[in-house]
Structure 1
Amino acid sequence: MADVARLAGVSTMTVSRALKQNGQVSGPTREKIIKAVNELGYVLDHSAGTLSSRRTGFIAALVPSINNSNFSDTARGITEELQRAGLQLMLGYTDYSEQKEEELIETMLRRRPEGIILTGGVHTERARRMLKMAAIPVVETWDLPADPIDQVVGFSNEEAMALLTRTLAGRGYQRFGFIGGTSARDQRGDQRRRGFIRALDELGLPPGRLASFGVPPISIEQGGQAIAMMLERWPDTEVAICVSDLSAFGALMECKRRGLAVPGDIAIAGFGDYEVGAFCFPRITSVNVDCYGIGQQAAARVVQILGGKETSRHQEIVLTSFRVVEREST
């Protein structure tokens, strides 16, 4: 402040008033001070102000991956909604690890976010305790947890996959395969597997052929390796449903390398409606889950609570939409 005051030719008290949001300083004086700040390359530190106001101006969000276009779209939805409310996003990624999520929650809570948005509804007990004690809005997304911490914006991964399975069965397919990871590390992927198994059982169809390959998230390469394993073990498989569009794209490319027609020899479907699935050939049947909308609605819920627009705080579960997008791969 002393450096700025000397360069602007004013007192340090005037600098202090000018840099406060409602400081009583004339327009020309404030402009002179801001010009001095910019010339010196200084950035206003809001830390001291947050101690008294209890406002930090940012919301924390945790996603499993930063190179997944679906979670990128969710982060974009959060960001754009927060910007309208004058808030910023601090983003962390968990790499599908509950332990890493717990560590990130602790780290971010130390920086006093005004709210926190999580991906999924499964967390460590310590993470749940920290979040409940934080006294800030907490929104769980991309899931419908049985025991929500606070707010929920999501959908049933199990029911979404069951819908895809029923849709394909309605087109006459009977011998189904499922491609997913080798562990329950991806809780939402595990829920999709359960939805697939349940739908086949309800339809009275033969049990699905389960190809578990690789540690989640399943990559394009692993999708190709998984379909090769499936066809070697169950060559009469009519349709392979993949846990994501990335693994479905890998399966599609492996079929092309083997000279197999899709869907003539085997049909392929994915989950998530990724851009790669919508523009490859043949285009991949998938499930659209409105990734951007999940982020936008989660951020809107946080903003609504922070804005005090509710006469009394209550838990709310916002169900987001999902739909099957049928394309040429099936």
Structure 2
Amino acid sequence: MGSPPRKPTMQDVSRLAGVSPMTVSRVLADPQRVTEPTRRRVLEAVAQLRYVPDMVAGSLSSRRTSFIAVILPTLTNANFADTAHGLTEALRPADYQPLIGYTMYRLDEEERLIRAMLARRPEAVVVAGTVHTKAASELLHQAGVPVVEIWERPDRPIDRAVGFSNHEAGRAAARRLIALGHRRIGALGPGIDGAARDFRGEDRLAGFAAALREAGLGDELVLRHGEPPVSFDHGARALAVLLERAGDVEAVFAVSDIAAVGALMECRRRGIRVPEDLSLIGFGDFEIGRQCVPSIDTIRVDAQRIGRRTGELLLALLGKGSPAGEPASLDVGFELVVRETTAAARRERGGEP
């Protein structure tokens, strides 16, 4: 086998286009500074040679990398994928590129990713959540670039935040079930003992439990079971555990629509009618929750809007958009969506409401 072909260089492009290497650099970095005929010649040479600029070398000279570090818990969750999509679309006009890492809900992995990303000199950092290790928090405080925490709305963000109150979302779910007359109310979420932690889901459970107590109801049926991320299987198993503990439970909140669908399937297997025998609310407005039968009541958050607003905020902070006049913590809100899995309480199984 022969040696691999030599990669074309900027000098090759300049010779083919009949211009200086500096002119090639200007066309690639700021094409509006070059006349249209020259720009066309250079771009034709780039295409003919299949030249790819060395962005690392360029960043060393310009001190700009043009990438945004984005750290998410997972990419298998449609909401986080939608957030990444909204962020990418907002950044695209300014030619910023997201570099995405995922933590699988582990704080130690988040800290490792933050170190690795900052070593590559991102223009900004976007990180899901507001709970970090002490070392990760210090790294973000000292990063020297904009830092935006998303999917939560803290009182004191590291720099900026775009999200909503997960605690209030949990409270809204509890208030809905209480208003329907339910009194034996439970909730399903992941446990808190393992290395992986879903702090946003935990906050929703905490808000849910708080609303139950404020209404004079017990929170002993708020179940924390298994490890994140939640799944269909997690929802089914968690509901089975809850039913063993309290077979008379009347209503359940799941911290994710994914878990809610699993709980719904477990009800089908056990002959429990939803919503006649058991009311069910999820979170996240996932497509499967909209399409399953019955369709699942949920708390909707506009995941793409979180990404878009984060991107718009970053462009403003980086001088590529309108001046940033937003508060340090931007609330995108949430919405309770009533579909087919909640109904007024029946004090006796099969009786009238």
**TM > 0.5 between the two?**
yes
Counterpart check, 1:127 vs 2:139:
no
Match of residue 266 from structure 2: 254
Cα deviation for residue 309 of structure 1 reads: 7.3
Cα deviation for residue 313 of structure 1 reads: 9.7
Distance 1:25 1:300, change over 3 A: closer
Match of residue 152 from structure 2: 143
Counterpart check, 1:34 vs 2:46:
no
Match of residue 294 from structure 2: 282
Structure 1's unaligned 5+ residue stretches are: none
What is the aligned-residue identity percentage?
46
Match of residue 257 from structure 2: 245
Match of residue 58 from structure 2: 49
Equivalent AA in structure 1 for residue 274 of structure 2: V
Alpha-carbon displacement from aligned partner over 1:135-170 (angstroms, at most 9, x marks no partner): 111111111335421111121111110111011110
- 3-state DSSP class of the match of 1:301? helix
Instruction: Please say which of residues 17-26 and 318-327 is displaced more in the overlay.
Output: 17-26
TM-score (norm 2): 0.86
Cα deviation for residue 116 of structure 1 reads: 1.1
Alignment partner for residue 193 of structure 1, among 205, 218, 221? Answer: 205
Aligned residues: 330
- 3-state DSSP class of the match of 2:139? helix
Match of residue 121 from structure 2: 112
Equivalent AA in structure 2 for residue 321 of structure 1: G
- 3-state DSSP class of the match of 2:130? coil
Match of residue 181 from structure 1: 190
Instruction: Please say which of residues 146-155 and 309-318 is displaced more in the overlay.
Output: 309-318
Question: Which stretches of structure 1, 4 residues or longer, exceed 6 Å deviation after superposition?
Answer: 308-315
Aligned partners of 1:68, 1:24: CA distance in 2, in Å?
43
- 3-state DSSP class of the match of 2:40? helix
Match of residue 80 from structure 1: 89
Contact 2:312 2:321 survives alignment (8 Å): no
Alpha-carbon displacement from aligned partner over 1:190-230 (angstroms, at most 9, x marks no partner): 11111111101000123341333220111111111111121
Match of residue 298 from structure 1: 310
Distance 1:175 1:17, change over 3 A: closer
Equivalent AA in structure 2 for residue 226 of structure 1: A
Structure 1 segment 15-26 matched on structure 2, within 5 A? 15-16=24-25, 18-21=27-30
TM-score (norm 1): 0.92
Aligned partners of 1:179, 1:73: CA distance in 2, in Å?
24
Structure 2's unaligned 5+ residue stretches are: 1-9, 343-353
Contact 2:182 2:250 survives alignment (8 Å): yes
Contact 1:178 1:208 survives alignment (8 Å): no
- Tell me the C-alpha RMSD between the 2 structures: 2.4
Cα deviation for residue 22 of structure 1 reads: 5.2
Distance 1:250 1:312, change over 3 A: closer
Instruction: Please say which of residues 292-301 and 14-23 is displaced more in the overlay.
Output: 14-23
